Structure 1
Amino acid sequence: MGITAGIMVPHPPLIIPEVGRGEERTIIKTIEAYREAAAFVADSAPDTVVVISPHSTLYGDYFHISPGERASGSFARFGAPTVSLSVDYDEEFVRELEAAAANTGLAAGRLGERNRELDHATLVPLHFLAEACGGIKAKVVRAALSGLSLAEHYRLGMLIKETSERLGRRTAVIASGDLSHRLKEDGPYGFNPSGPLYDERIMAVMGNGDFGELFNFSEGFCDSAGECGHRAFVIMAGCFDGTEVEAKRLSYEGPFGVGYGVCTFHAAGPDEKRRLLAEFEKKERTELAALKEKEDAYVRLARAAVEAYVTGGEKIAVPAGLPEEMLSHRAGAFVSLKKEGRLRGCIGTIAPTAPSVASEIINNAVSAATADPRFDPVEKEELAKLVYSVDILGETEKIDSAAKLDVKRYGVIVTKGGRRGLLLPNLEGVDSVEEQISIAKKKAGIGANDKVQLERFEVVRHH
């Protein structure tokens, strides 16, 4: 017993005839593939179906697992209130999964439910499964995504597998997720070149069952593509850790500017060579060690400042032996921390506030690790996984037009009244001046359509 089958499916409500009212015929290949995938799950005769939904309760630092005995939902908000579904939750499975997460230190459980109703990313695949089975006979577990790293999503999948095996459940996993939402100018989020690139790449990965490649999709690339389901696919991949997988690509379409992909995955037996998280972590340790060897004096100073403060609670003095320009020069500086490819903290100063660049770096490194309001303070256990970059800012220059910006060369400062926002240049996932200005406005709390004073600056990036 354990994980027997998995499917990757999209969740457009219009695929339901009562919602689409004829428009669903535009994606007939997806509908046919969906029915084949649902029949595949039905044939596996699951006791429990785990649905991984991007539209269930989402937290930045916690995986929410839906609690309770039963849940219902309908397509009322999409104009079809008569199309509804009720399911029984597998309460024992959920309790065991929550306990397993607590034992391993993974932040997952039944806390923080905001809406008991089934979301559309859960309803759409269950609608097809009910059609294939003549009703939902299996019990259901609904798991949400989080803002945690891809590695943590994979770990949740591994715990789902372990729980399934411990309880002796035949379990099928449904990874519900659309692909890019940026395939066309008239799509829901416009066009971005990363959109079709993401869809081509993810369909190759999932269609071949190359789950280890899922870790190699950077956060910036996924954000640019506007994808919906990547982390759901990673959780499902974790459910097959140590398992030989027979993958089959059934369909791909993107007529509305959103990618819809359908694949099936059959568990074909143990395969110790497919311990993918262990492989990823080994590779990551090797790469981090190589990066640390290449750090220059600026980055080494930022690392030393953070490690000393996190482990001992003291801010270091400016050490001896630094390059002269770090001691005699003053400038604004930004220190950024990343962990497993995701931002972990970033604090900086537009103009110098300390006697030297070195002092500026020390101050801002400590602040990035402990005082960025978007993140909890860095813990000792995280230090070995952090990657640092230090941006030294040049002089700012007022400009009268966005045409004088270059997203790769110049950072931008936007000012309206007492509000001021900054964005550094050459950031992954920021591909246009318009995006750069928009993000800087958002950071400052300035309206998207408000006129602002623009300033530009260049940086020297150390990483």
Structure 2
Amino acid sequence: MSICAAFAVPHPPLIVPGVGHGREAGIQATVDAYREVARRVAEIAPDTIVLSSPHSTSYLDYLHISGGSGAAGTFAQFGDRADGSRVAYDRELVGALCEAADACGLAAGTAGERDPELDWGVLVPLHFIQEEYARRRDAGDDLPTYRLVRIGLSGLSPRDHYRLGQLVQHTADTLGRRCVYVASGDLSHKLAEDGPYGYTPDGPAFDELVCHAFEEGDFLALMTADRGMCERAAECGLRSFQIMAGALDRTPIRSELLSYEGPFGVGYGIAAFTPTGAGGSDASRAIGDRYEAWHAADMDRRRCAESPWVRLARYSLESYVRDGWRIDPNRDLPADLAGALPDELFSTRAGAFVSLKMNGQLRGCIGTILPVRDSLAEEICANAISAGCRDPRFSPVEEDELAELVYDVDVLSEPEAIAGPEELDPARYGVIVSASRGRRGLLLPDLDGIDTVAEQIGIAARKGGIDPDDPSITLERFTVTRHV
């Protein structure tokens, strides 16, 4: 059996005594559960620990695997230079994993590591594991030294994270490695008003979902969690848990939620998953296949529920990407779409933004504050193409991405000048921040993760290259009618 056990763990640095200076007593259940995890890892004495961390090198479209012979790190950024870890990487397993990813077309590998030092998402679990290893060796236990495979997360789909986990299982089995998988990740960071990140009802809801999934071994729930809720909850561990789920693909398991706490406004959950049979032996645990079926049905449902505004935006972008054709909505629409469009799309003029998301991540957003075309229909068609192919933050949308895109169309009211921030509400109004030399930045209203006026103004200003503290800035507000 290549994956001997898997564990989901949090990574609060204050749990390390040299950082916490006694505060770690406030999450004693987490400390105790961590020590139990470390005990089980030492009992297994794996050849390799595979550890995924949200704070390792991450890219939007690439799953990074740390290369080289090894790495080290300390908790110096948290005021503790004395505690840290130095590890050797399992170079053979890393190489085989990269080859397997390349062979199946998964964007994963060792390219582009910005900082080779071990991050705290790795250092915290290693602290407890190494502490247990040292204790046993002091007691005379001749424990072999493990090697590490370190994996970062990405903006790719849940399925791609799961596929990387499957490849971990496959390559470890091919090489005869006995591995333990450790998925590092906190739960919601928004559990309390007096916490460092504030509160949202989605915080406790997210933690409840994940803890239930841990208790029941329901990895499909980890794959299908609503991305909007996850963003609002400010979680960081979900994609780490998805890779872990893939490493246990088709494996019968015993699942245990060892602890859950959230005393500092951040959720800390620890869970253990113990195989009870060989990997690949339990067809009912083919979570990747079940996710594919769910995702296809979900995308079909979304397509069927799209408003006419969104259908028009989709048809415009798809026609351009597939055929290089800029449609004229006055004459180039198929009969079913033309018949579904309300007259107001052709009789009114307004600014409009088209936003594209893929895998829950922004894939493009372009719009016009005021109308520049003869009708709202033409505005939407043009801005859909710009969002998909002209947004400088992203590469142009490719044909194989079209089926995965989720669209929003926001129709803007005419902006009105306001006296100051007190006249804003990020849930109701969008904001335009203007400065000298014609610089201007805009942010739409009611965006996930934007809860305060200060955040809204700051983001809008930075988008326009404006210092949000510049006393000369002026503000305008507007409302939107959002079509999804």
Going from structure 1 to structure 2, the CA distance change for 1:82 and 1:348 (only over 3 Å counts) comes to same
Q: Which of 139, 156, 161 is the aligned partner of 1:148?
A: 156
| CA spacing shift, 1:101–1:297, aligned 2, 3 Å | same
Instruction: Evaluate the alpha carbon distance shift between residue 448 and residue 225 of structure 1 in structure 2; reply closer, same or farther with a 3 A threshold.
Output: farther
The one-letter amino acid of 1:32's match is: D
CA distance in 1 between partners of 2:449 and 2:215 (Å): 26
1:171 paired to 2:191: no
Q: Which residue of 1 aligns with 2:23?
A: 23
1:427 corresponds, among 420, 443, 447, to: 447
* Aligned partner of residue 121 in structure 1, secondary structure: helix
- Quote the offset at 1:104 in angstroms: 1.5
1:3-22: per-residue Cα shift (whole Å, max 9, x none)? 12111112222222233232
Determine if contact 2:53/2:153 at 8 Å carries over to the other structure.
Answer: yes
Q: 2:343 maps to which residue?
A: 324
Corresponding residue of 1:276: 287
Q: Which residue of 2 aligns with 1:455?
A: 476
Deviation, 1:67, is 0.9
Deviations 1:143-194 (A, max 9, x none): 1112223222222112111212222211111111122233334433333443
2:45–2:144 CA contact under 8 A, matched in 1: no
Residue matched to 2:93:
93
Determine if the alignment matches structure 1 residue 194 to structure 2 residue 202.
Answer: yes
Residue identity in the other structure for 2:466 = I
Equivalent runs, 1:284-433 vs 2, <5 Å:
284-320=295-331, 321=338, 322-417=341-436, 418-433=438-453
Q: 1:116 to 1:460 in 2, by over 3 A?
A: closer
Note the alpha carbon deviations across 1:223-277, whole angstroms, 9 max, x for none: 3222222221111112112222211111122233322211111122232122222
Contact residue 231 and residue 448 of structure 2 kept, 8 A = no
Partner of 1:442: 462
Q: Check 1:70–1:284 CA distance in 2 against 1; reply closer, same or farther (3 A cut).
A: closer
Q: 1:448 to 1:167 in 2, by over 3 A?
A: same
Deviations 1:16-68 (A, max 9, x none): 22332323222222111101011122223322110111221122221111111
- The change in CA–CA distance for 1:239 and 1:348 in structure 2 (over 3 A counts) is same
CA contact (8 A) 2:51 2:149 kept: yes
Taking a change above 3 Å as real, the CA distance of residues 412 and 5 of structure 1, as seen in their structure-2 partners, is: same
- C-alpha spacing 1:192/1:286, structure 2 compared with 1 (3 Å): closer
The gaps in structure 1 that reach 5 residues or longer are none
Aligned to 1:232: 240
The alignment partner of 1:111 has SS state of coil
Contact 1:221-1:429 at 8 Å conserved across structures: no
| Counterpart residue identity of residue 113, structure 1 | E
Structure 2 distance, partners of 1:75, 1:191, is 28
Residues in 1 aligned to 2:152 and 2:11: alpha-carbon distance in whole angstroms: 15
Q: Deviations over 1:315-336 (max 9, x none)?
A: 2222434543222321111111
- My pick for the range that moved more, 259-268 or 211-220, is 211-220
Q: 1:197 to 1:442 in 2, by over 3 A?
A: farther
8 A Cα contact 2:3 2:248, kept in partner: yes
Q: 1:424 to 1:83 in 2, by over 3 A?
A: closer
- The residue correspondences of 1:75-154 to structure 2 (distance < 5 A) are 75-134=75-134, 137-154=145-162
Q: Identity of aligned pairs, percent?
A: 52
Shift in Å at residue 216 of structure 1? 3.2
Counterpart-to-counterpart distance in 2, 1:293 and 1:9: 39
TM-score (norm 2): 0.89
How many Å apart are 1:123 and its aligned residue? 1.7
Distance 1:450 1:193 in 2: 34
Aligned to 2:271: 263
Q: 1:345 Cα deviation (Å)?
A: 1.3
Secondary structure of 2:276's counterpart equals strand
Letter in 2 for 1:454: L
Deviation of the 1:200 alpha carbon = 2.9
1:147 is paired with a residue of what secondary structure?
A: coil
The offset of 1:129, in angstroms, is: 1.3
Given the superposition, is the C-alpha separation of residues 289 and 259 from structure 1 closer, same or farther in structure 2, using an over 3 Å criterion?
A: closer
> In the alignment, which residue of structure 2 is the partner of 1:45?
45
Secondary structure at the counterpart of residue 150 of structure 2: strand
Give yes or no for contact 2:262–2:268 (8 Å, CA) kept in 1. yes
8 A Cα contact 1:129 1:136, kept in partner = no
Rounded to whole Å, the distance in 2 between the matches of 1:190 and 1:294 is 34
Q: Which moved more, 1:218-227 or 1:204-213?
A: 218-227
The answer to whether the 8 A contact 2:234-2:449 is kept is no
1:111 Cα deviation (Å)? Answer: 1.0
Q: Equivalent residue of 1:243, what SS?
A: coil
Whether the 8 Å contact between 1:50 and 1:174 is mirrored in structure 2 is yes
What residue identity is the alignment partner of 2:219? Answer: F
* RMSD (CA atoms): 2.2
Question: Partner letter of residue 327 of structure 1?
Answer: F
**Contact persistence 1:126–1:136 (CA under 8 A):** no
- State the AA in 1 paired with 2:60: G
Which has the larger displacement, 441-450 or 294-303? Answer: 441-450
How far apart, in 2, do the equivalents of 1:15 and 1:461 lie? Answer: 44
Is the 2:200–2:232 Cα contact (8 Å) retained in structure 1?
yes
Give the conservation status (yes or no) of the 8 Å contact 2:209–2:221. Answer: no
Is the 8 Å Cα contact of residues 412 and 423 (structure 1) preserved in structure 2? Answer: yes
> In structure 2, what is the equivalent of residue 242 of structure 1?
250
1:406 CA displacement = 4.1
Equivalent residue letter for 1:436: Q
- Asked if structure 2 preserves the Cα contact closer than 8 Å seen for 1:2 and 1:165, the reply is yes
Q: In structure 1, what is the Cα distance between the partners aligned to 2:114 and 2:236?
A: 20
Question: How far off its partner does 1:434 sit?
Answer: 4.3
Offset, 1:348: 0.6
Using the TM superposition, give the Cα deviation of residue 380 of structure 1 relative to its aligned residue in structure 2, in angstroms: 0.8
Work out the number of aligned pairs and report it: 463
Structure 2: gaps spanning 5 or more residues: 135-142, 332-337
SS of the equivalent of 1:249 reads: strand
Contact 1:149–1:342 (8 Å) recurs in 2: no
